[in-house]
A and B are shown apart, each in its own frame.
Chain A
Amino acid sequence: MEAVTKLDVESIRADFPILRRRIGDRQLAYLDSAATSQKPVQVVEAMRRFTDHSNANISRSVHTLGAEATEAYEGARARVAAFIGAPSPDEVVFTKNSTESINLLAYAFQNAAFDPAADPRFKLGPGDEIVVTEMEHHANLVPWQQLAQRTGATLKWIGVTDHGRLDLESVAEVVTERCKVISFTHVSNLLGTVNPTSQITARAREVGALVGLDASQSVPHLPVNVAELGVDFIAFTGHKMLGPTGIGVLWAKADLLDAMPPFLTGGSMIKTVTMERTTFADAPAKFEAGTPPIAEAVGLAAAVDYLDELGMENVRAHEKELAGYMLERFETVDGLTVVGPRVPIGRGATVSFTFADVHPHDVGQILDAEGIAVRVGHHCAKPTCDRFGVNATTRASAYVYNTREEIDRLVEALGQVRKVFG
């Protein structure tokens, strides 16, 4: 193992003004980046510069600002493509968020059902199967569930072990020759598990199914290279990777995007339109109807620059250390039970837990009084909660700007929780 350069967390923190906020009389400890990350000044600045200097609609005007805006937007696409190792910027579709990216894909299947000339890879009907896992965010479950209901296809899932890992032994059994598409989470937002992908992608190839990842929790936290992963599509969201809200990404292989019917239709996604019919533009424009989030794309590109500057290997190493520290400190807390992997191997720095029989709402409230921001609830993964027999959990999630001291404060504040509810 080569030695990894640690992140200079102190200078990183200086880039995030919000981290200097006080909650009441306490310093904010933001441990909720799995819900949304904070943005560095570089991102906000890039968006402001664009807005103050170059704002215009894209691809519609010949004036200077129009050209600058188009260049900024398409430049952002290229920047994102390079970040995830995509062979071409044209494989990057900008959406609103991960949820829309996944819906865009699911609707490609649904719309293909109405088109006799549709690519057979997108033809779904009774007897066909769709596979997800038992650790999906609702964003990568509900669209597939709906698709199955509407087409008559069957939704199947790979189970989760007591340790919070995918039950990979069942893959050959769950994924059959009837499977047309597998979509699974790369990193679980509830359990923190980093899923190994090769066995599932290999099985997908064997049965001729499309395979892709909900990469919402992986692209922000570890190096992700779509070519190395050997998948057909991934979805992720800007606001979890130091970027703004309102922008997400669907990456898919060029030949898939070519074969997919559009999701939303209207302006900017057409080749020609008559009163009777329309021919569509090539991807990615085919999937970007209407005025896209232009300033947000600029912000996302700045976020990608920021992460690249840090180095995604360093980001991963930093979070691995924090995950290890968090798990080690949690071991010492009486009554705390981690939901998910208990060792810092194959997992990120997102750790869910229950605490004695104190409801997570109450835990979160008392932590907030100490200035500590965590997420409580079912984290949009209700079936995963059910799998572990819990209604809700408290979840602490760390990112590039978090420190061991903040984890110490969290552990200490749990003592306060015990005092109120003991």
Chain B
Amino acid sequence: MNLDELYQEVILDHYKRPRGFGLREPYEGESHQVNPTCGDEITLRVHVDGDRVADVSYENVGCSISKASASVLYELVHDTTVDDALARLGEFTELMNSKGQSEGDEETLEDAVAFAGVSKYPMRVKCALLGWMAFKDALVRAETAIPGRTDG
């Protein structure tokens, strides 16, 4: 097994110095997710302003992969449009499900391409996706909380 491929410098750096950590106000949607096999947990909030994801804030406990992934998520989706954030969510999920067959597009995924190696470790894919699941859920909650934003 090639450990360097899994624990890339970028991942260890996000793990040791998480970006955007902490729970902040205001927010419209909040989600709490746990990984029942290992006890990793995250609470994540989304602040939506118009068609923008104005802020994503979070607190989490867990392994290096789940913590680094939340930090990378923050960098990618805060202060972007909701549509772009959803596109990143789709791309990252696809990368994680690629079983090592995809390298990811550095143009759009930036630091998140470092997680390409994680996709070869089925036991760790859940760790990498935990924060993103929370983001997806919190965004749905935010959209339903904001009047006029539901499509029916």
Taking Cβ atoms with an 8 Å cutoff, the residues of A that contact B are 23-24, 359-362, 365-366, 368-369, 376-378, 382, 385, 391-392, 420-421
Residue B39 contacts which of A23, A365, A391 (CB distance < 8 angstroms)? A391
Cross-chain contact A369 with B62 (CB below 8 angstroms): no
A358's nearest neighbour on chain B, judged by CB, is B64
Q: Which of B37, B39, B124, B127 has the most CB of A within 10 A?
A: B39
Docked pose: A60 CA to B61 CA in angstroms:
55
Picked from B1, B38, B41, the residue with its CB within 8 Å of the CB of A377 is: B38
**Cα–Cα distance between A354 and B12 once the two chains are bound (Å):** 19
* B interface list, Cβ under 8 A from A: 1, 3, 6-7, 12, 37-41, 61-65, 121, 124, 127
Residues of A contacting B124 with CB < 8 Å? 361, 365
13 A-B residue contacts at CB 8 Å? A359-B40, A361-B40, A361-B65, A361-B127, A362-B7, A362-B63, A365-B121, A369-B1, A369-B3, A377-B38, A385-B39, A391-B40, A421-B12
A368 CA to B62 CA, complexed, in Å: 19
Which residues on the B side are within 8 Å of A385 (C-beta)? Answer: 39
A377 & B39 in contact (Cβ 8 Å cutoff): yes
Residue in B closest to A368 when the chains form the complex, CB atoms:
B1
Given contacts A24-B1, A361-B127, A369-B3, contact A377 B63 (CB under 8 A): no
CA gap between A361 and B62 in the complex, in Å: 8
Name the one of B1, B3, B61, B121 contacting A391, with C-beta atoms under 8 angstroms.
B61
* Chain A minimum-CB-distance residue to B67: A359
Closest CB of chain B to A395's CB: distance in Å? 12
Contact B6 A365 (CB under 8 A): yes
Contact A366 B3 (CB under 8 A): yes
CB-CB under 8 A from A360, the residues of chain B are: 38, 63
- Using Cβ atoms and an 8 Å threshold, which residues of chain B touch A359? 40, 62-64
Bound together, the chains give a CA A391 to CA B40 distance in angstroms of: 8
Known: A359-B40, A361-B65, A377-B39. 8 other contacts (CB 8 A): A24-B1, A359-B62, A362-B7, A362-B63, A376-B38, A378-B38, A391-B41, A420-B3
Give which listed residue, A376, A377, A382, A420, contacts B7 with CB less than 8 A. Answer: A420
Q: How far is the CB of B8 from chain A (nearest CB, A)?
A: 11
A225 to chain B, nearest CB (A): 36
In the complex the two chains form, what is the Cα distance from A378 to B61 in whole Å? 14
Residues of chain A with a CB closer than 8 A to B39's CB: 377-378, 382, 385, 391-392
CB distance from B3 to the nearest CB of A (A): 5
Cross-interface CB contact of A421 among B6, B38, B64, B121, cutoff 8 Å: B64
Cβ of B127 to closest chain A Cβ, rounded Å:
7
> Closest CB-CB distance, B46 to chain A, in whole Å?
25
